[in-house]
Structure formats: C-alpha cells, structure tokens
Structure 1
C-alpha cells in the first residue's frame, strides 16, 4: 500500500528565505522516500541588516511578512499537512529578532523558531547521508550559509564532532579584513585539530553556492568536484567583475557576490582537512527540517 504525505520547511537565512515542500512516499516494505515537490527562494538579505546595523529594517520586515504570507498560501495549495519555520544567524543576532518573529506571527499566523548554531548543525546532520558516509572513510560536512558555517565530522559512519562558526558569506562581505582573518584562523585550528590522524578525508558540501558551482561544473549527480577544479573555478570567478558574473555566468545578483567567499570557505576546508574532493548531494537545513518533522524530532 502506498501513502503520500506532504511536509514543508521554511528556512529563514541570512542571504535568502526558502520554502521547500516535499512528498514523503511511504510503502510498508520500504524506508520512506523524500522527494522535493517545490522550492521557492526569495532573496531577502537579512544579514546585510543584522550584521551591519544590528537590527532587521522595517522594509525587510515587511518583505518577510509578504514572503511568509505567500508561503502560507502555497502550502495550502499543496495540501501540506505539517510544516516548520526556522530562522538562523541573521535573526538570532538581530536585536529586534524576537519582535520580528512576534510581528510575523500576528500578521500571518506562522510561528518562527530562532535556532542556535548547535541546533542548526544537528538538523542539517539529520539529512540522509547514508549513501556517502558508509564504510571506514571520513567526511567533513560543510554547510555554508549567509551568516554562519556548520561543520560536522563523520568517521566510520558516525558523527565525531560538530561546530558552528560565524563565518557566513554575507557576514564575510561586510566584515573588516582583520576580523575575517581571525575567523579563518579559528576555523583552520578546529579543522586541523579534529581531522588529525584521519586518512582520506573527503568533503560533503551543502548550500546554494556549492550547488551552483556543482551545476556549473557539468558533473553528473553523485560525482565529486576535485580540489584542483574548485581552485581553478575560484581564480576564474575572482578575475570577473560582479557585473560580469551576472551577465556572462547568469548568476542571480544576490549570488554573484557571495559565491566568492563561499568558494573560499570550501577550498580552505579542503586544504586544512587534506581533502582532495568534495561531494555535493544537494541537501541542507530545509531537508533536515522535513526529515525531523516526519520522525517527530521537531
């Protein structure tokens, strides 16, 4: 007997807000299958407010209300039975974050949970990585967002450790160079310490930027990107102007700037962990929210 249930996740990030709707296909003799039905992305860069001014602007609050109201209608059209909305670093660092959450709830009826870095890493880690982390190999899972980057280290099929750093793409664009240098030094120390003694480490990358880089590479799904290719792509992107990345590479305006610091983060993590390749399974916080909802972990 086949049963199809619909779940949704709203991911309120520092660079964009996303709605993911998934079909959960249930068969009595098989594990549940999670199939993406719809993904809507709205480029509301909350990090530009939060990391610079410390508060979410009235304009972006109104844009968020409109986006959440639209998401609510889309979920009704799709007959979504259960959903969860989570906000990450931009909202948790904004002085008016809780006030914004309350206003959105009053206006739309949608409850938003502001989650901390540890919760974010745990949700992301709940995504289905079984096909990649089986066996005796070691993997460093790197999820790059606008405000923070979550690192999770797997070895022999289990989680060794995880940590969230305030090293997101929007934040890096707005920080002083000296601040960014210190952040990278702290991440380098953590990665080298925790991967010491591990052999044949590979990266698993998630986030909109690595998904775009993977698509640009022309690799078939399941095949990794090499360190050599990623470094060459980084140099190529850096040589282009912001306008050229939009006009010649067809990148969205809110992607054309953050893709540079994002690529640097992935490259740095590869070098510090000794990884020579990175897998891109196209999973992230939204996928983790839906799986956690289905298994009643949220």
Structure 2
C-alpha cells in the first residue's frame, strides 16, 4: 500500500530564504522512501547584508521575514504539510538580535525558527542521499557554500575524516575588506591541505545555489562532474562580465548575479588546494537535508 506524507523545510540563509515542500512516498514492497519535490519558493531577503555589516537584522528585513513566514505558513497549509522544520544559519547566528527576531516571528506567525551552528548545518546537509555519487573506495571533499559561511567535510572510504565551518561566504566576501578575507582564505587553505594531503584521486562534491546554477549553465548531463579546467575558465568568464551582463546574458536573478563570482572562487580554490580534478553537483542543499532529517526523526 502506498503512503504519501508531505514535509517541509525552511532554510533562512544569508542570501535568501527558501521553503521546500516534498512528498515522501513509501510502499510496503519497498522500505526505502522516495522524496519528490512538490514546491520550492525562494525569497531574496539578504539578511547577510544586515548582519555582516551592521551586526543586526534591520527593521525592514525583519518585517519582510515576518511576511515571508506568514506566506510560508499559508502555503504549507494549502499543501497539507504534516510536519516542518525551520532553521536559520550564519546571518541570524551572527546578528546581535537574531534570537529576538526569531522570538517575534514565533509570536506573530507561530513559525518556530531554530538558529543552528555550522556543525549542525553541515550534518543536516550531509544527511542527504549521496549514494548515487559516492564510491566507497574513494575520497571526497564536500563543500557547501552559503552566503555567510562555507562548510567543508572530508570523507574517505565512506567515513567522515574531518569537518569544519568557516566564516567565509558569498555575501561576506562582497562586504569583507581584502585583509579580512585573506586571513580566512589562509585558514581554509591550511585546513584543506592538511586534511587532504594523504588522500589520492580526491574529488569535490559541491552544494549550494551557486554551484547548481553553474552546473545548469554548463549544459552537462545530470550526474556528470565539472572539470577543474571548466571551473577555471568559467570563473574567468564570469569575472569579465559586468553585473548587468550576468543578469541580461546569463539570465541570472539580481541577487545571484553578484554572489556567483565569489562562490565560484571558493569552489575553485577548494579544488586547487585539495588536488581535485573534478566536482560533482548533486543539486542538494540544506532544505533537502531538513526533509530527510525530519523523516528520519534526526532533528
């Protein structure tokens, strides 16, 4: 007998806020559930521009968040969602009024926002099913680039070797001084080289909205990795275009057209420092991980 359950994940990031509604389909004949996306709504509220510059969420963006959560609540009701989990990452984590904003949103909308740390963020993303990509006898560096932070996880032969979250994300890079960003770049380079130096033929796995967009622009068949040569050339291609050209010629959203360049630099440097020659893009993210974790009662 077929059973269909609707679950939702709300990802409150530094560059945008997302609602993912998924159908979880189970069949007695097959113990393994299938997850089918029912709806995905993305709202370009750039909380990181507040948090990383002013240190707090502005009144304007707080009000926009309240409206977004009210809309998400109605959408979940219409879809018949039975359970949801909302989490906020780097921007609200670093904002001095992050907890206060979350409390006000709960009072006004009944949506509970969980402000999570980098380690939990990485664990939720990592809970997604990577079995179609991962080969148990090989090594990988998993890189999830967000607006406020980037999570790195090294794993080999199916086991996690080490993981760390760094305060280097696309929105931060747009606002950091060259000196501030260089210090973190140096930390990341040291960490990656130290944790991957003994691993041969390592590949990257990239997640996040920017690498998904890069993959789409590449025209590669689903499942095929992007090469280091392609990533180098694509980075130079993006850098040479103006912000306006990226919108008009590449059909990027305005809030994607600026951050895609620093995002590409993070993936590219991770490849160079780890010695990876290819990057797999499974098109997964925090919202997907929330759905899987909800189903498995892990959050």
TM range (shorter): over 0.9
For residues 170-211 of structure 1, the C-alpha deviation after alignment (integer angstroms, 9 at most, x for no partner) is 001100001111111100000000001101100000000000
- In the alignment, what sits opposite 1:191? 192
Q: How does 1:143-158 map to 2 (within 5 A)?
A: 143-158=144-159
Partners of 2:107 and 2:100 lie apart in 1 by 11
- In the alignment, what sits opposite 1:246? 247
Partners of 2:125 and 2:158 lie apart in 1 by 16
- In the alignment, what sits opposite 1:9? 9
After superposing the two structures, state which structure 1 stretch, 235-244 or 25-34, moved more: 25-34
**TM-score normalised according to structure 2 size:** 0.99
- Per the alignment, in what secondary structure is the counterpart of residue 32 of structure 1? strand
- In the alignment, what sits opposite 2:180? 179
Q: How does 1:73-112 map to 2 (within 5 A)?
A: 73-112=74-113
- The alpha carbon displacement at 1:130 in A equals 1.5
- Per the alignment, in what secondary structure is the counterpart of residue 271 of structure 2? helix
- In the alignment, what sits opposite 1:266? 267
Q: How does 1:45-124 map to 2 (within 5 A)?
A: 45-124=46-125
For residues 68-92 of structure 1, the C-alpha deviation after alignment (integer angstroms, 9 at most, x for no partner) is 1101100001000000000000001
- Per the alignment, in what secondary structure is the counterpart of residue 284 of structure 2? coil
Partners of 1:28 and 1:161 lie apart in 2 by 37
- In the alignment, what sits opposite 1:130? 131
For residues 2-52 of structure 1, the C-alpha deviation after alignment (integer angstroms, 9 at most, x for no partner) is 111110000000000000011111012321111111110000000000000
- In the alignment, what sits opposite 2:278? 277
Partners of 1:263 and 1:144 lie apart in 2 by 9
For residues 41-69 of structure 1, the C-alpha deviation after alignment (integer angstroms, 9 at most, x for no partner) is 00000000000000100000000000011
- Per the alignment, in what secondary structure is the counterpart of residue 133 of structure 2? helix
- The alpha carbon displacement at 1:249 in A equals 1.0
Partners of 2:28 and 2:154 lie apart in 1 by 33
- Per the alignment, in what secondary structure is the counterpart of residue 37 of structure 1? strand
- Per the alignment, in what secondary structure is the counterpart of residue 282 of structure 2? coil
- In the alignment, what sits opposite 2:205? 204
Aligned length: 298
- In the alignment, what sits opposite 2:256? 255
CA contact (8 A) 1:133 1:155 kept: no
- Per the alignment, in what secondary structure is the counterpart of residue 131 of structure 1? coil
- The alpha carbon displacement at 1:153 in A equals 1.1
- In the alignment, what sits opposite 1:287? 288
Partners of 1:33 and 1:202 lie apart in 2 by 27
CA contact (8 A) 1:25 1:34 kept: yes
CA contact (8 A) 1:144 1:169 kept: yes
- The alpha carbon displacement at 1:142 in A equals 0.4
- The alpha carbon displacement at 1:159 in A equals 1.3
Which blocks of at least 5 consecutive residues in structure 1 are unaligned? none
Partners of 1:29 and 1:155 lie apart in 2 by 33
CA contact (8 A) 1:133 1:156 kept: no
Which blocks of at least 5 consecutive residues in structure 2 are unaligned? none
Task: Give the aligned CA root-mean-square deviation in angstroms.
Answer: 0.7
Partners of 2:212 and 2:218 lie apart in 1 by 10
- In the alignment, what sits opposite 1:28? 28
1:213 pairs with 2:217: no
